[in-house]
Amino acid sequence: MLMMPRTKRRQSMRQRLLLGMLAGFIAILSIISIGLWRYADDAANQSYDRLLSGAALVILEHTFLTTQGISVDIPYSAMETVGLARDDRVFYRIYSQNGTTITGDSQLPLPDVIVNDKIPYYFDAWYSLERAHFIVQSRLLTEGSHSDTVIVQIGHTRRARNSLRTDLIINGFSIALIVTLVGLFFIWIGINRALHPLIAIEEDLRQREVTDFKLLQVKPPREIASLISSINAYIQRLKNSLEHSQDFIADVTHQTRTSLGTLQGQLGLATQETSLEAMRERLQRADCQVQRTIRLNNQLLSHAMVIHRADKQETSNFSLVDLARSTLEQIVRDQIHSHIEFAFILDDLAGESDIIGGDPISLREALRNLLDNAVRHGPPANKIDVRICKHQSGVSLIVDDEGPGIAKDKHKKVLERFYSDTLGDTGSGLGLAIVNAVALSHKATLSLQNSPSGGLRVRLDFTNGGLE
């Protein structure tokens, strides 16, 4: 059952090629047939016209002028010549220019033109219930001072002509048909040969273990080289991604266990304390640890959600300004008791639309993380600016703070998961990784700079406008 669709698809490719070729051959065959018909007709007529012409000439050679007028001695060979068209009836008449029949059948149909000296004229006519083909040819006879023109009309039924024509057509068509079949046979072989590397790849992939990430080793023909390299690139990416997620699981495991271990340790110590004061002290630290664990958890889930949504590629068009404003409003509300000064700055977009295509939920998560980081790492009287401005080919979202910033040499490092500049502090090390993931899925450029106020500037440059 599982094999069915695969073989079906393989056949259909072959069929498609074969059918295409067949259609081509049929077209060619049709053209050949039309040509063949005309050729066969001409050839049959020409061959049998030669018989008629030969017979007419021989008869004309045996005409002579006597004192009684024109006479003729039809030679046996003349009739034998026409008789080569074995099964055809023969009609003839020899007559003078004034229409007097000298010998032969006086009822024969006349040509509709006047026959010139020497030039044979051919025509078809019905006679004696059959269609016949005639030649008329004339000759000027001179005897002393006397001269007269003798005309020979000889014709036969079309049986031999038609059968020769049919034979020619059938033979020609048979050859064309055989050529077609042989052609299709070779094409079939060709297709099979051409598909061979694909089938080999199929075998290779089908027999693989899930964990086998060896690159395909077939030596592909030029036409599918790019396919193979794409498959190989895909295998490589898959391998990287798997390694990545293995790393991620390891990291997550490490982080959560460490966090929970710390909590457990502090709670354990608290139960050992004898003085109430010391116990409270321990419990307060445990509480802090709980806060950190919760945040770590939230960040992990947020990261997972962002990655998941990027995979699902649920995208829509939305206004970056509206999204930034509503996110900032939420943060402001959450931070109402703090002394942080927030600002929302809209630079002149100069006609550039703030509509971008993407996943608003992920992007809101990213911005929330950026603001969260700014709040977390900045001084109590922090100043946090959210700015939307125009760059060369789109809009940018910029978050500035007055925190300590990040040293330039660590800018790349902090985008990785679980790397926190201030290790052991409240940072989970996931915030910028989330932002980075969202930036990637939105094809936006994420850059870390120093803000004019001395803190960190995080900049997201969206290149694309809205979706189509």
Cα angle 281, 284, 287; round to 5: 155
Which range touches another protein (CB under 8 A), out of 4-12, 24-32, 86-94, 178-186?
86-94
320 binds another protein (CB under 8 A): no
Nearest approach, Cβ of residue 137 and another protein (Å): 18
Q: How far is the CB of 79 from another protein (least distance, A)?
A: 4
- 163 touching another protein, by CB under 8 A: no
Q: What is the DSSP letter of 220?
A: -
Query: Taking contact as CB under 8 A, which single stretch among the options 17-25, 113-121, 170-178, 328-336 is the one that binds another protein?
Result: 328-336
Q: What are the distances in angstroms from CA 148 to CA 13, 63, 97?
A: 78, 11, 8
3-state secondary structure of 357: strand
Spell out the alpha helix ranges (H) of 313-417.
320-334, 360-377
Other Cβ atoms closer than 10 A to 359: 21
25/318 with CB nearer another protein: 318
Minimum separation from the CB atom of position 128 to another protein (A): 4
List the structure tokens of 331: 């943060």
Residue 381 touching another protein (CB under 8 A): no
- Residue 89 interacts with another protein (CB under 8 A)? yes
Residue 377 structure tokens: 């790492």
322 part of the interface to another protein, by CB under 8 A: no
Q: How far apart are CB 364 and another protein at their closest, in Å?
A: 7
SS3 386: strand
Q: Residue 312's closest CA among 368, 366, 357, 359?
A: 359
**Two tokens, residue 81:** 């010549």
Taking residues 25 to 64 in sequence order and writing x for each that binds another protein by CB under 8 A, - otherwise, the string is: ----------------------------------------
The span of 343-351, 393-401, 434-442, 445-453 binding another protein (CB under 8 A) equals 343-351
Nearer to another protein, 32 or 306 (CB): 306
* Helices 431-441, 360-377: crossing angle, 10 deg rounding: 150
Q: Counting contacts by CB under 8 A, is residue 90 touching another protein?
A: yes
Residue 128 gets the label, from left (phi > 0), alpha (psi -120 to 50) or beta, of left
Backbone angles phi, psi at 460, to 5 degrees: -115, 115
Cβ proximity to another protein: between 329 and 416 the closer is 329
User: Which residues inside 211-270 make contact with another protein, applying CB under 8 A?
Assistant: none
Reported as type and span, the H/E element at residue 437 is: helix 431-441
Query: What's the min distance (Å) between Cβ of 275 and another protein?
Result: 23
Residue with smaller CB distance to another protein, 80 or 247: 80
Tell me: does residue 345 bind another protein (CB under 8 A). yes
Candidates 32, 74, 108, 320: give the one binding another protein (CB under 8 A): 74
The answer to the question of residue 73 lying near another protein (CB under 8 A) is yes
388 and 447 Cβ atoms separated by less than 8 Å: no
Alpha helices in 62-146 (DSSP H): 76-82
Half-sphere exposure of 11 (CA within 13 A, CB side): 6
**Among the residue ranges 20-28, 96-104, 205-213, 265-273, the one whose residues contact another protein (CB under 8 A):** 96-104
CA dihedral 70, 73, 75, 76 (to 10 degrees): 130
Interaction with another protein in 294-313: which residues (CB under 8 A)?
294, 298, 301-302, 305
Interaction of residue 131 with another protein, rule CB under 8 A:
no
Task: Choose, by CB under 8 A, the member of 31, 199, 225, 346 that binds another protein.
Answer: 346
Q: Given the rule CB under 8 A, which of 32-40, 72-80, 205-213, 254-262 is the region that contacts another protein?
A: 72-80
Distance between CA atoms of residues 134 and 131, nearest Å: 10
Pick the binder of another protein from 117, 243, 341, 425 (CB under 8 A).
341
Distance CA 60, CA 124 (A): 21
Q: Which is nearer to another protein, 198 or 270 (CB)?
A: 270
CB 416 within 8 A of CB 433: yes
- Contact between 390 and another protein (CB under 8 A)? no
Residue with tokens 């069929």, as numbered in its chain:
15
Is-contact 382 375, C-beta < 8 A?
yes
Q: DSSP label at 465?
A: -
Q: Which residues of this protein are in contact with another protein, per CB under 8 A? A: 71-76, 78-80, 82-83, 86-91, 102-104, 128-130, 156, 159, 294, 298, 301-302, 305, 325, 328-329, 332-333, 336-337, 341-346, 361, 364, 386
